[in-house]
Chain A
Amino acid sequence: MEQLEVHDIEFLTPKTEDELLDILDRYKEKAKVLAGGSDLLLLIRRNLIARPNYIVNIMEIPSLKYINEDEETVRIGATVTHTEAIENQIINREFPSLVKALKTIGSTQIRNWATIAGNLANASPAADSAPILIALDAKLKIKSAKDEKIIPVEELFVGVKKTILKPNEIIKEIIIPKKRKNFAADFIKLGKRNALVLAVVSAAAGIEMSEDGKIKNIRIALGSVAPTPLRAKKAEDVLRGKEPKMDLIDKCAKVAKEESKPISDVRASAEYRREMVYVLTKRVILNALKELGVNVE
């Protein structure tokens, strides 16, 4: 008779950050961080990841649950859920486009427990919080027992479901620069059903105007059109330092379309996705400019 291997799993619920980081440092790849849980449970049950020996629930650590602000930034702690961010006054005041993006993620039940940091750490190409956070120039504080560093959001991702996070590291917080003067951002997600869809394509843009009516800075980020959330830097270059004219915006959106590397899958063909990159990029740029009161000719 075949001998069944007994695989031991222990469910750990550390109460402090130090305890958590010690556990991760000790058990490394044998441990998996659990936040809201919506992704990890399914990954384990479908054998999509190696069964961990330790499931480490981080949701009972009070010091990881916060949204606070100083003069220049807003900081969102690791265990803040989508619902908590959507209902938060600071986030609504500073980043209405982030609220708009978070509302498109999952369903009410998922948003109630899934964390924003967890959505990023899971690194789906369709991670819907990534494009808008990239457009807002957000950074992540990555922490381990011994180390701490800050990286731009776009540098987290290295491939489908792959990040630079080591097994002993967590995303401690998301740091977003506060609304600058003459800055606006927008996000649009295209999907087949409102709830629970993975995006066919999503696009976000953050635009800062200078006093003389030129685009001082622009960040464009796309979701579901490459193995990782994609920053469309060549498209940004088309508009940076220029006056926003319709022909230039059109060119910028075409360059974004060329920069995207979508695949065909059950949700849409690559060709359709590329076309939608053009449409959505143009639309988010125009929406952000409209919010800034800029008339585009």
Chain B
Amino acid sequence: MKKQLLRMRVNGRDVEVYVRPDARLIDVLRDLGYLSVKEGCGTGECGACTVIMDGKTVLSCITFALQANGKEIITVEGLAKNGKLHPVQEAFIEKGAVQCGYCIPGFIMSTVYLLNENPNPTHEDILDALEGNLCRCTGYVKIIEAVKEAASRLKKEA
């Protein structure tokens, strides 16, 4: 199988890599070292592999790598600025929203996307926005508290 050129921007860095035409985005990102991107179900149901592509969350386990050609990808590794964690990351830590942690990168990316789109989400908005992310430890109460905390931190920053 002939590999094909994939050009994308990951966390602000231009990347050129040859990939199998049927490679998944998740595998290519992990091979590049972006290990925050987790594979849970591998079938697009649990949200652990969520990254942001051209401003919108996408499930990297059911996306062909070459679909990202020419696009901009953001993973959890790209959130911290100047050595300081992103307010969403800080809020998850402060609220104790992390148990085993496996689902958290997906929740963080879904939260970043939600707060970009809607800086003042209601409780219901948060439930809707996170419906595609599953936490097997079932730590949803703390996760939702963290999203609310993140929203207020971002507002203070703005």
Contacts and interface: CB of A to CB of B under 8 A. Distances in A.
Interface in B58-97: 58-59, 62-64, 66-67, 69-70
A196 B128 CA distance: 12
Interface stretch (A105-113, A150-158, A224-232): A105-113
B132 A110 contact: yes
Nearest to A113: B58
B36 interface: no
Contact of A38 (B4, B44, B133): B44
B45 interface: yes
A147 interface: no
Interface in B1-27: 1-2, 4, 20-22, 24
A87 B66 CA distance: 27
Contacts of B56: 83, 112-113
Interface residues of B, number: 31
Contacts of B1: 6-9
B64 A8 contact: no
A70 B22 CA distance: 40
Given A9-B21, A108-B57, A109-B110, A38 B132 contact: no
B129 interface: yes
B102 interface: no
Contacts of A37: 62-64, 67
A38 B67 CA distance: 11
Contacts of B70: 60
A55 interface: yes
B128 to A, nearest CB: 8
A112 B57 contact: yes
A196 B67 contact: no
B122 interface: no
A60 B70 CA distance: 10
A160 interface: no
Given A11-B4, A55-B22, A57-B64, 5 more contacts: A37-B64, A109-B50, A109-B58, A110-B59, A195-B131
Interface of A: 6-11, 13, 34, 37-38, 41-42, 44, 55, 57, 59-60, 83, 106-110, 112-113, 193-196
Task: Please provide the 7 A-B residue pairs with the shortest distance between their CB atoms, ordered closest to farther.
Answer: A107-B132, A195-B131, A11-B21, A112-B56, A11-B66, A9-B21, A109-B57
